[in-house]
Structure 1
């Protein structure tokens, strides 16, 4: 399905990603963890072709993704949708129009200039927003929504592309714990219900363990761990983060606990 072989990115003398190699032979939810600067975001940007690789190969369905140009490259970017930490919405535009921007790669220049959308696309955008629990906000400006709601709008925009792969670059880094759980549960449902591959860059170990089928750990541009959530022990985490025995998972936890101390998932109001 997806094969990365020695994928490398250099910025001058700096080696941001060093021979990243892994493959996915079926749709899964994959978490990539590591400290800031480990190369996680650069890896996702190479996969989406927002950044050109310096070396290595990236194959999907037997096709060489790194060789794609022009319309074929744009088509790949629709199949491999990107969600960003800062949402990348148009703040003064209404929510449903932001979602409809997920169709730009397949629309004519004329339709794009005059913001003309087919009624079928409008209905589909609203259906996606409803699925994510925010259809009631469709006519509002994006800037009027909370951070968690805006991230769900960004997810809806990605789903409008009908992608095979969703890349989420630190999707919960700027959210409070309640909204972080709502967003991660939305991504997990999209994987399970749609059969789409979701690859998410994450900072917290509890999030990776709870929502991901497989976890990759990066340190200094290299993949230093590739295994199941159960294999992501505290000792392994120390190696990934380059930490000593004082490393505490609680310091990075996004887990919400009830007054009795029991961990649980909570949903933020829409």
Structure 2
């Protein structure tokens, strides 16, 4: 389905992604890991055509998406939905309107200006929110929701595009462990139930092992690991992060080891702000 061939991106004298190549032959859930500056975000931005590549090819079902222009490029960006760390919602709009913005590329300019959406799209947006467990918040402003809820709204907006592939750029980086787990479980269900390819940039090894079928490790713009979660050993992680023998995965873990302790800590924090 997806073939990346010698994909390269240069910013002046700096090479952000250096001749990256990999193939995905069926819908998978793939995690891309690596230190900050490894090239993970640039990789996803090139696949989604938010950033142009310097060299290489991106083939999806045999079509080179780097050659697409105009309407064909916009159609690809609908097929290839992006989810960002910052959510990118309109804070003062209600939740369902934010979700409906996933259809803007399919609507006329006039309909977009006046927020005019067909009734069937509104029902579909609410159905997607129901699927993600946040339909009761449909009429609330997006800014009134927690970070985890807002990220699920962003996922719902992406699903409104009916994409063939979902790209998630650090979707849980700004979330607490409980919300991070909820968001990752939602992405995993979408992959399994819809048969959609999901590629997510992740910053923790336990998350990649738990939710992904395949893990790609990047270091200084190059792919230095490509394997199953079971093959992602501590030694392999040291190579990906360029770390020494004192490298500890605990420092990057988002696993919820004790929900009661986590709940108690959250309660103490809440009480401290009262």
2:132 alignment counterpart: 132
Distance 1:91 1:21 in 2: 38
User: Residues 129-163 of structure 1, C-alpha deviation per residue, up to 9 Å, x if partnerless?
Assistant: 00000000000000000000000000000000000
Indicate whether 1:14 and 2:14 are aligned: yes
1:38 alignment counterpart: 38
Distance 1:12 1:234 in 2: 34
CA displacement at 1:260 relative to structure 2? 9.6
User: Residues 63-92 of structure 1, C-alpha deviation per residue, up to 9 Å, x if partnerless?
Assistant: 110000111101000000000000000001
Q: Report SS of the residue matched to 2:91.
A: coil
Question: What root-mean-square deviation, in Å, do the aligned CA atoms of Structure 1 and Structure 2 show?
Answer: 1.0
Distance 2:104 2:74 in 1: 10
Unaligned runs of 5+ in 2: 262-274
1:144 alignment counterpart: 144
Q: How high is the TM-score relative to the length of structure 1?
A: 0.96
CA displacement at 1:259 relative to structure 2? 7.1
More helix by proportion, 1 or 2? 2
Indicate whether 1:178 and 2:175 are aligned: no
CA displacement at 1:258 relative to structure 2? 2.5
1:209 alignment counterpart: 209
Distance 2:13 2:151 in 1: 35
1:226 alignment counterpart: 226
User: Residues 27-50 of structure 1, C-alpha deviation per residue, up to 9 Å, x if partnerless?
Assistant: 000000000000000000000000
2:111 alignment counterpart: 111
Question: Equivalences for 1:62-73 in 2 at 5 Å?
Answer: 62-73=62-73
The number of residues matched between the two structures is 261
CA displacement at 1:257 relative to structure 2? 1.3
Distance 2:64 2:165 in 1: 16
